[in-house]
Chain A
Amino acid sequence: MTELRLRVDWPLCSGRGVCHELLPEVVELDDWGYPVVRGPVPEALTDAARVAVRWCPRLALRLVP
């Protein structure tokens, strides 16, 4: 299975921080509240990552190989 990564659509993202709330293991927040994605999504967290993608209020998150 290929490693999945979270990618942010930066012009869409407004730093609501929901991704960090749902997936703090992978997504941290920077000084201004925008996501900092730390590496690929571990397999055990794939489902949680999908939830984060679905719940992004700006639809600015994607899970890509």
Chain B
Amino acid sequence: MITDGLLVETGPALLATVDDGPGLVAHRRRLGPRRTASAAEVLAAAEAVGLRGRGGAAFPFAIKLRTVLEGSRRPVVVVNLSEGEPLSAKDHALALVAPHLVLDGALGVAHAIGAAQVHLALPGERPGVRRSMFAALAERHDAGKVRCHIASPRFVAGQERAVIELIAGRENLPVTTWRPAATSGVRGRPTLLSNAETWAQLGLLLQGGVEAYRQLGTDSEPGTTLLTVTASGQPRLVRETAYGVPFGTAVPELVAPGRAGLVLLGGFHGTWVSRKRLARTALSVDRLRQIGAALGAGVVHLPPAGQCPVRRSAEIVALLAGESAGRCGPCRFGLPALGAAIGRLAAGTADATEVARLAALVTGRGACAHPDGTVRLVRSLLGEAEEEVRDHALGRCSYGTLGVPPVRGLAGRRAAS
């Protein structure tokens, strides 16, 4: 179905109810009343299915939960719906078609661990998400502990620490962390923060049980994952796929003719991967790591065939430099410098030496992962498009698009998409 400009396909688990609509009555008819579980039961279930966070880092949920449970103060639950990655739309889609599954997960776990509050961080630039979540909350009688917050419409606002700052009433920007959020997050409380898909997976796990959850996927990675497939000129498509399926089967768009040789996996903070190699690789967090790629937040971006990846990367880095909060020096000055260096490479007026030097220089030096994510993209370009990069250093471009690419901000891009 098409909703809020997104194409959302019916899926095997999380997206099974797309055609039922987002209402509570239909949701309960399908999944029954909200089950209650103890903290130990939630932990055991998360461990039994090896649930990993779906926000990008794929961190094991059980480890996070265990840390939260070790705290002495009452914990806080945070549902991060802000989805800062502009190409990603999976949390957006979940909010529209299955808001009660997200809330079942968050409220179920909050009840199990005796959480003091449940906070929702809603995206400022996606009003449809806000409307749908407000409507869903109004239907429920168990949402008394829920507080909503509107995130700033910018890339870094969705980062974990930025969301915790927002909830605390401060500026929605990343700050330095000395301890993990699971130990000390919202007002110093142990904080269980995950993105909407992770909570929806938990909702499904709590309602359906471990056995049903393990019916899909593989033994080592049970269940499903959400992907956002984007191609220029087409609406963003959100699809649910079981783990273990080859990418070429899960995303047949990969093997369709008229596509470029490289695919951007994971979004603007993701990695360039050869389209053919990706099509043969299983949809698995571990397998992707082995080939040096990462699923990130689940974005599969298919550029048009005639687009030069060096030029495209230069555009993205320039855009990401503009998205820096400007508070950490290495990011504030380093990303524009990196953008300029890769721009010179795209223009065929310099080699990649300076790009590689600056990429190494900004890595790991900031309050959030914005510089690191940008560097990940740049490094994957230097690796996957080695030949094209070498050609550019010699003043040649096989796509015939030498020249400094125009700089476009995220605001303009969002308005256009």
Contacts and interface: CB of A to CB of B under 8 A. Distances in A.
Interface in A18-45: 30-34, 36
Contacts of A14: 329
Given A30-B361, A31-B361, A62-B178, A10 B327 contact: yes
Nearest to B361: A30
Contact of B176 (A11, A30, A31, A34): A11
A12 interface: yes
Nearest to A34: B329
Nearest to B362: A30
B124 interface: no
A13 B361 contact: no
A10 B328 contact: yes
Contacts of B367: 9-11
Interface string B47-58: 000000000000
Contacts of A34: 329-330, 333, 365
A8 interface: yes
Contacts of A12: 176
Contacts of B333: 31-32, 34
A15 interface: yes
Nearest to B329: A34
B337 interface: yes
A25 B219 CA distance: 50
A35 B365 CA distance: 9
Interface in B281-339: 327-331, 333-334, 337
Nearest to B173: A11
B350 to A, nearest CB: 16
Q: What's the dominant secondary structure at chain A's contact region?
A: loop
Contacts of A31: 333-334, 337, 361
Nearest to A60: B176
B366 interface: yes
A30 B337 CA distance: 12
Contacts of A15: 329
Nearest to A15: B329
A11 B328 contact: yes
A32 B176 contact: no
Nearest to B365: A10
A62 B177 CA distance: 12
A10 B329 CA distance: 7
Task: Tell me which of A7, A34, A64 has the highest count of chain B C-beta atoms within 10 A of its own C-beta.
Answer: A34
Nearest to B174: A11
Contacts of B173: 11
A65 B387 CA distance: 43
Nearest to B368: A10
Contacts of B331: 10
B251 interface: no
Nearest to B325: A11
B192 to A, nearest CB: 24
Nearest to A30: B361
A32 B327 contact: no
A10 B330 contact: yes
Contacts of A8: 365
A11 B175 contact: yes
A48 B317 CA distance: 39
Given A11-B175, A11-B367, A32 B328 contact: no
Nearest to B332: A32
Given A8-B365, A10-B367, A32 B329 contact: yes
Contacts of B328: 10-11, 13
A34 B320 CA distance: 20
Task: Tell me which of A12, A33, A64 has the highest count of chain B C-beta atoms within 10 A of its own C-beta.
Answer: A12
A10 B178 CA distance: 12
Contacts of A13: 328-329
A8 B366 CA distance: 9
14 contacts: A10-B328, A11-B175, A13-B329, A30-B330, A30-B334, A31-B334, A31-B361, A32-B330, A32-B333, A32-B334, A33-B329, A34-B333, A36-B361, A36-B365
Given A11-B328, A34-B330, 12 more contacts: A7-B178, A8-B365, A9-B176, A10-B176, A10-B329, A11-B175, A31-B361, A32-B333, A32-B334, A34-B365, A36-B361, A36-B365
